[in-house]
Structures are given as C-alpha cells and as structure tokens.
C-alpha cells in the first residue's frame, strides 16, 4: 500500500497522531479550570500551556478562544477583569485578555 517508510509514516501520523493531539488538547480545555495560579513564574508557564492547547485544539474563532481562556481563569481573576473600568479587554482581542489576566 505504501512505497516507502516515509509515506507510511506520514499517513500514520495524519490518521492517528494529530487527532490524538487535538483530542487531548480539547479534553484539557474542556476542564472547568486550568488551575492558573497567582505566582508569576507558574502563571506564565500555565499561560503558555493554555496558548499551546488552544493552537493544538485548532480553535480559530476569537470568541471561542476567549471563552476557553475565561473559563480557565480562577474566579477571583475573572472577577477582577470583569470589574475593570479602564483597560477592560475587548471580546475579540485575545492578547488584551492575556495582558489583563497578567
């Protein structure tokens, strides 16, 4: 069916590995909270992990990504962002949400 190992490997990866990566990312993103902490080093690590999960899950809609990000935040951080009178992030500006959460 395959002329070379490279062809087999490519087809195998397309059929199995990417789906698993996407499914794993989706599963992690669907958890109620991603346990983002207040300690800056851990926060940055978790934030980068969240960005990676969003990319792996192949989310492309801004509002969907922001919703997943919002649900991943601890309640007290959600409350603080919701109460911002200046600098409240727009619903379509993901980088603004990251900055507000930081």
Q: Which of 45, 43, 99, 35 is nearest to 73 (CA)?
A: 35
pTM for the predicted model, two decimal places: 0.52
Q: Give CA separation, 72 vs 3, 5, 9, 17, in Å.
A: 46, 41, 35, 25
pLDDT, residue 44, reads 63
pLDDT confidence bin for 92, thresholds 50/70/90? confident
pLDDT (tens digit per residue) in 21-78: 777 777 777 665 555 545 455 556 667 777 787 788 887 777 877 887 777 777 888 8
pLDDT, residue 39, reads 47
Place of tokens 């200046």: 86
pLDDT, residue 77, reads 82
């Amino acid at each position: 069916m395959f002329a070379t190992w490279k062809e087999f490997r490519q087809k195998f990866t397309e059929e199995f590995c990417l789906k698993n990566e996407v499914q794993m990312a989706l599963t992690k993103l669907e958890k109620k909270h991603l346990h983002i902490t207040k300690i800056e080093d851990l926060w940055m690590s978790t934030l980068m992990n969240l960005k990676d999960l969003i990319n792996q899950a192949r989310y492309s809609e801004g509002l969907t990504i922001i919703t997943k990000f919002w649900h991943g935040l601890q309640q007290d951080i959600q409350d603080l962002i919701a109460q911002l009178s200046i600098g409240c992030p727009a619903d379509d500006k993901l980088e603004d949400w990251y900055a507000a959460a930081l």
